[in-house]
Structure 1
Amino acid sequence: MAMRARQSQRRRQTLSRESIIEAAVELLDAAGESGLTVRALTERLATGSGAIYWHVGTRGELLDAATDTVIAAALATDPAQAPDTPQDEIRVVALGLFDAIAEHQWLATQLAIQLTRTPWEPVTLGIFESIGRQIRALGVPRGNWFTATSALVQYILGATIQNAQIGPNAPLVAPDVDRAEFLDAASIAWQELDPDKYPFMRAIADQMRQHNDREQFLAGIDLVLTGITNLHPPTGQAHIAE
């Protein structure tokens, strides 16, 4: 009896908000949002449900916290390896989000929910701040900061979320489907389209088969950045004090 009491006390001492969130992320990665239950979490952490609620609150709050934690890690950059230009910094942030969503399939849905329902929460703020600072550093006129930043954020998240839905672990693709085989089948289907009705789709069929998701993603970033800098040349407002 005394031994069980000491073990229970040690568990309470080692349990923390961080360890709960870490376990929640592991459950989400393994089984998706449906796999994150209080019962599964208490079993993994060898604790009671009261301790979970004490540290993180409700299941919804735990989902938010897990999302915040993963996105914060994706946005973090090493000061010793800071990119040379605002464009490079934007690419680093974009790839961080791309890789995070590809690794954590559940993140796509949670990001969409937080961005649309609670744009004042840390996830949205962190993403917009990371991109927006670089838009300002590019010298884009202040009146265009919101539009330019929104365009980049919408492209980054739209492309990463779409990629997550068709990736190797995505819920919309059968688990035994090989990516190369899938693209090959799609390419063949495009090549067999009616040439009068779909001349463009037939022309790009081979490019679609051979494309690299990350390279295509970065090419899109460059297209958006080129449009922003051409439409909004620097005006010297980049370092205006707030």
Structure 2
Amino acid sequence: MATGTRRAQRRTEALSRERIVEAAVELLDAAGESGLTFRVLTERLATGPGAIYWHVANKRELLVAATDAVVADALAARSTGSPREEVHAVALGLFSAIDAHPWLAAQLLLQLSRSPGGPVTPRILESLGRRVRALGVPEEHWFTATSVLMHYVLGAAGQNAANSQVAEPDADRAEFLAATAQAWEALDPEEYETTRLMASQMREHNDREQFLAGIDLVLAGVAALYPGGRA
């Protein structure tokens, strides 16, 4: 009996929570949320379900852990530049993570709305909030400024990822943008005057540059509302 217990403990130690989460991320990347099942996970890890349940209670907890692990990696890179440059670095880290993991945007939305107590939401808020503080924003406005910045980052990055997912698999980005610009230019000139004039700018835009331009617009608003800061 004692020997069996020791063997079970060794198996549990060998199969760490980190390895389970790593395998879950791999499955999510390959097949999305529907492809992440405990049956498939046990096959990938060559173990029994009991060993996994020892570390993770259910699929919801596993999704939270996988989301947190990817976000933590995205925020790990540090910038030693100005507060603005650090905001750019944090934002681009999240942008790249959401672009690389098609399931992440939806999970972040769920975490922010269903489980704002953690661990994902506080991690992102802390990372951005520290930079907001460094910009000289008064304490009573930290939450508003940080929340607006966070929602822009996650919303814009999520939209970019969604655009990539719905595009034709073999479509060339330049061809896609050219076709879209052509469609805009063909709109009624009275009803869609401004959209038609923006068509050429849309055709030539760079997604990451546009994303960072949006960050700077938010930071410019922060500087205008809270003068004396360092945005």
TM-score (norm 1): 0.87
Give aligned-pair identity as a percent. 62
Amino acid in structure 1 at the alignment position of 2:50: G
CA deviation after TM superposition for structure 1 residue 113, in Å? 0.2
* Cα RMSD after superposing both structures: 1.9
Residues 187-228 of structure 1: per-residue CA shift (max 9 Å, x gap):
110011111111111111111111110000000001110110
d(CA) in 1 for partners of 2:219, 2:34: 38
d(CA) in 2 for partners of 1:220, 1:57: 40
CA deviation after TM superposition for structure 1 residue 178, in Å? 3.0
d(CA) in 1 for partners of 2:160, 2:71: 17
Q: Say whether 1:144 aligns with 2:138.
A: no
Which residue does 1:240 correspond to in 2? none
CA deviation after TM superposition for structure 1 residue 140, in Å? 1.0
Amino acid in structure 2 at the alignment position of 1:190: W
Which residue does 2:16 correspond to in 1? 16
Q: CA separation of 1:8/1:118 partners in 2, compared to 1, >3 Å: closer, same or farther?
A: closer
CA deviation after TM superposition for structure 1 residue 65, in Å? 0.3
Q: Say whether 1:51 aligns with 2:45.
A: no
Q: Is the 8 A contact 1:141 1:233 kept in 2?
A: no
CA deviation after TM superposition for structure 1 residue 77, in Å? 2.5
Q: Which runs of 5+ in 2 are unaligned?
A: 1-6
Report 1:84-233 matches (<5 A).
84-167=81-164, 170=165, 172-233=166-227
CA deviation after TM superposition for structure 1 residue 55, in Å? 1.2
CA deviation after TM superposition for structure 1 residue 231, in Å? 1.4
Report the more deviating stretch, 99-108 or 175-184. Answer: 175-184
How many residues are treated as equivalent by the alignment? 224
Q: Which runs of 5+ in 1 are unaligned?
A: 1-6, 237-242
Q: Say whether 1:66 aligns with 2:66.
A: yes
TM-score (norm 2): 0.91
Q: Which runs of 4+ in 1 moved over 3 A?
A: 7-13
CA deviation after TM superposition for structure 1 residue 57, in Å? 1.6
